[in-house]
Structure 1
Amino acid sequence: MRKSPQFKALGGIALSVGLIAAATSGVAADTAPAAAPEQLDAMQRDLGLTESQANKLLKDESKARSLENELRGDLGSDFGGAVFDAKSGELTVSVTDAEAAETVEDAGAEAEVVTHGEDALDKVVKKLNADAEEAGSGVTGWYADVEADNVVMTVEKGSAKAGKAFLADAGVDKAAVKVKESSEKPKTFADIVGGDAYYINGSSRCSVGFAVTTGFVTAGHCGSSGASASGANGGSGTFQGSEFPGSDMGYVGATSNWNPTPRVNNYSGGTVAVNGSSQAAVGSSICRSGSTTGWHCGTIEARNQTVRYPQGTVYGLTRTSVCAEPGDSGGSFISGNQAQGVTSGGSGNCSSGGTTYYQEVNPILQRWNLSLV
């Protein structure tokens, strides 16, 4: 399968806190976004692109999202995953049956016949998830890598044996799993600091994700159900729902003085409009808005990531190359003009770079029957 280039996240300027972004509930029609200048600036800074390259990338990604959705429906069980190549602008779709390759190619994508495929990899992840609490302390997580057609298990340096022992105990197909030593030590990004954002019970700080008609969605680890939430602009609300660990999703119901808007703060004095929540392909560019480090961009590296935080294990996250720091938790992840998720946690920082995970937004909307503005 063609490799998607991994854009290196550079240390950028931290600006100020973003509030709310929104769209229509579920998956709205995906149209080629008219990018705001500030969004293009951030993509150029963090992805090493020119303005024309950034514009072309957004258009290519919009087409890829639509094509992936189309082929996912047409191929059914033969669909094995999809990866977007930012350099060529092409979408590669994996198939588990060679005869399905013609359907992919006729639709305008490249086809790759694979052994396992997305569904089989997700079943391996599900089996590992079932025994997650039995994993050794050196095992930091695992995710389905559809591009490599395997599941990657990340472990701390020197903990490869612990990872392999866990695989044996879980009874999964070892041929489908790659154990990878990493210096990453995932943590959540909530913190008690000052700055513009929203505050939980008047103390700890997180970032707003996306506005819904009755408030906003954010990360579950930011606050428990019943906790108060207050914005720097005087808005107020209460956590109506919160799930963490397991998942990392939260819903804050806002009072009438906190007005939901279909926007994400770009930390350059403006906002980026949101026009839906259609899921972007692996390999696509993605930008994050957070109250500590502002606006940063990177790429989507993998989905169905299991992360073992000190507070507990979280399943079904999406892995990215975007940087983040404490206080960015709960903030918006957006690709083009499509809402993707809310910041959960990660490792590293915005000076040296890092890995950040987000909770997909559509499951949050479905969990509490919410609609984006």
Structure 2
Amino acid sequence: MKRTTPLRAAVAALLLTVGLGGAQAGAANAAPAPTVSAGLLDAMRQDLGLTPRQAEERIRAERAAAGVEADARRTAGSTYGGSWFEPATGRLVVGLTDRSEEADVRALGADTRLVRHSAAALDRAKSRLDRLPAPAGVAGWHVDPKANSVVVTVVRADRTAPAVHAFVERARRTGPVTVAETATAPRTYAAGTVGGDPYYTGNVRCSIGFSVYGGYVTAGHCGRAGAAVRGWDGSAQGTFQGSSFPGDDYAYVGIHSGWWTVPVVLGWGTVPDRLVRGSAEAPVGASICRSGSTTHWHCGTVLAKNETVNYSQGAVYQMTKTSVCAEGGDSGGAFISGDQAQGVTSGGWGNCSSGGETWFQPINEILGRYGLTLHTA
């Protein structure tokens, strides 16, 4: 950032020094143990109900599961029926449509479950559903590997509305579909201008996602391409170089000279600021945390991937759903799992007093869309 307090500068410098030293030391060992701060353990205790020991064990297990997932998908081939992390066992579970590849998948370190539908078939069903116009009473839809179905989520108060009923009936003709309910419709998390440590465009306040070389990524609904951006101190910070919403919900802000990027996600005093070391995708069921300028730091789990979210402004595709809460102004903020970037906050329902669910746009899609390189430690 352009200007900062001596305390923030000292913390950032210390993080970079310690983090880079840790990275160099880790290179000498094939599989360095993940570093877990006391603050992160406390956040996982508060939001996930885990003891410090349980949190440490879960982080290690999730990292191992993430490493197995891609290999399991390749090994299973056409029999792959999706996968998810199972907290009770600390292992990745892989759905298989037949047992021909079961032994090879288990040899990778995953458990298996026999399912009826392949992941490819479920993805095709969801793609067909994506082409249907959805009424406001339909919150969204996604492939649920554990249920081995496409789940259509409807707003509880609208579940008997004729338009919602008609959409669900059409959805069932696209493939295997189950229906779930939500209390309220999803909304984006932009907010009017208030104090804090955000960025601003017009009278909207949003949150920075992740640093990339030349700027940072954030939510597309926060500003259109060409819009000017002011930093946390109100001074000119940069310009939206690209933005997409609805359809997608991501954007790239290029920063002016005098500002700089660092591979850090703010912990807001709840946890120490987190270094970003990569963007390996966490599996369904894994723990995940979010940083935003309104509600700061909260944790939860990954509930679903590739969900279509039906906002009032239009549908957004390929989103990841989480049990993490968020509120206005948190839009664009970082979702991170351990030290791996996951995505930028889009929207959700609920709040951080009563709870809720929040979606994010996956980071690797954003990097690929704009040809960006994540700034890592």
Give TM-score, length-normalised by structure 1: 0.88
Partner of 1:201: 201
Looking at structure 1, the residues matched to 36 and 178 of structure 2 have their Cα atoms a distance apart, in angstroms, of 38
The answer to whether the Cα contact below 8 Å between 2:219 and 2:251 also exists between their aligned partners in 1 is yes
Partner of 2:360: 358
Task: State the SS of the aligned residue for 2:92.
Answer: strand
Partner of 1:9: none
CA 171–83 in structure 1, closer or farther in 2 if over 3 Å, else same: closer
- Equivalent residue for 1:305, pick from 298, 304, 307: 307
CA 275–81 in structure 1, closer or farther in 2 if over 3 Å, else same: same
Task: State the SS of the aligned residue for 1:99.
Answer: coil
The answer to whether the Cα contact below 8 Å between 2:306 and 2:317 also exists between their aligned partners in 1 is yes
Partner of 1:180: 180
The answer to whether the Cα contact below 8 Å between 2:199 and 2:208 also exists between their aligned partners in 1 is no
Residue type at the aligned position of 1:88: T
- Equivalent residue for 2:332, pick from 326, 330, 343: 330
Partner of 2:96: 95
The answer to whether the Cα contact below 8 Å between 1:209 and 1:216 also exists between their aligned partners in 2 is yes
Partner of 1:221: 221
Looking at structure 1, the residues matched to 202 and 183 of structure 2 have their Cα atoms a distance apart, in angstroms, of 34
Q: Per-residue CA shift, 1:119-178, capped at 9, x if unaligned?
A: 2211111111111x2x2331111111111101111112242564442244457345x101
Looking at structure 2, the residues matched to 217 and 353 of structure 1 have their Cα atoms a distance apart, in angstroms, of 26
Partner of 1:192: 192
The answer to whether the Cα contact below 8 Å between 2:171 and 2:177 also exists between their aligned partners in 1 is no
Looking at structure 2, the residues matched to 43 and 318 of structure 1 have their Cα atoms a distance apart, in angstroms, of 20
Looking at structure 1, the residues matched to 306 and 164 of structure 2 have their Cα atoms a distance apart, in angstroms, of 18
1:107 Cα deviation from its structure 2 partner: 1.6
C-alpha RMSD over aligned residues:
2.3
Percent identity (aligned): 47
- In the TM superposition, 1:29-68 aligns within 5 A as 32-68=33-69
Give TM-score, length-normalised by structure 2: 0.87
1:117 Cα deviation from its structure 2 partner: 2.7
Task: State the SS of the aligned residue for 2:373.
Answer: coil
Partner of 1:210: 210
Higher relative contact order (CA 8 A, sep 6+): 1
Unaligned 5+ segments in structure 1 are 1-15, 24-28
Task: State the SS of the aligned residue for 2:190.
Answer: coil
CA 31–278 in structure 1, closer or farther in 2 if over 3 Å, else same: farther
- Equivalent residue for 2:349, pick from 347, 350, 361: 347
The answer to whether the Cα contact below 8 Å between 1:265 and 1:271 also exists between their aligned partners in 2 is yes
Looking at structure 1, the residues matched to 68 and 101 of structure 2 have their Cα atoms a distance apart, in angstroms, of 15
CA 224–47 in structure 1, closer or farther in 2 if over 3 Å, else same: same
Task: State the SS of the aligned residue for 2:279.
Answer: coil
Partner of 1:72: 73
The answer to whether the Cα contact below 8 Å between 2:220 and 2:244 also exists between their aligned partners in 1 is yes
Structure 1 stretch displaced more, 62-71 or 342-351: 62-71
Partner of 1:84: 85
Unaligned 5+ segments in structure 2 are 1-7, 20-29
Task: State the SS of the aligned residue for 1:330.
Answer: coil
Looking at structure 1, the residues matched to 32 and 217 of structure 2 have their Cα atoms a distance apart, in angstroms, of 23
1:200 Cα deviation from its structure 2 partner: 3.2
1:202 Cα deviation from its structure 2 partner: 4.4
Partner of 1:243: 244
Q: Per-residue CA shift, 1:82-132, capped at 9, x if unaligned?
A: 11112221110111222111111122211111111322211111111111x
Looking at structure 2, the residues matched to 201 and 301 of structure 1 have their Cα atoms a distance apart, in angstroms, of 31
The answer to whether the Cα contact below 8 Å between 1:30 and 1:66 also exists between their aligned partners in 2 is no
Looking at structure 1, the residues matched to 274 and 200 of structure 2 have their Cα atoms a distance apart, in angstroms, of 25
Looking at structure 2, the residues matched to 68 and 45 of structure 1 have their Cα atoms a distance apart, in angstroms, of 28
- Equivalent residue for 1:371, pick from 364, 370, 373: 373
Task: State the SS of the aligned residue for 2:59.
Answer: helix
Structure number, greater radius of gyration: 2
Structure 1 stretch displaced more, 141-150 or 92-101: 92-101
Partner of 1:260: 261
The answer to whether the Cα contact below 8 Å between 1:117 and 1:146 also exists between their aligned partners in 2 is no
Partner of 1:151: 150
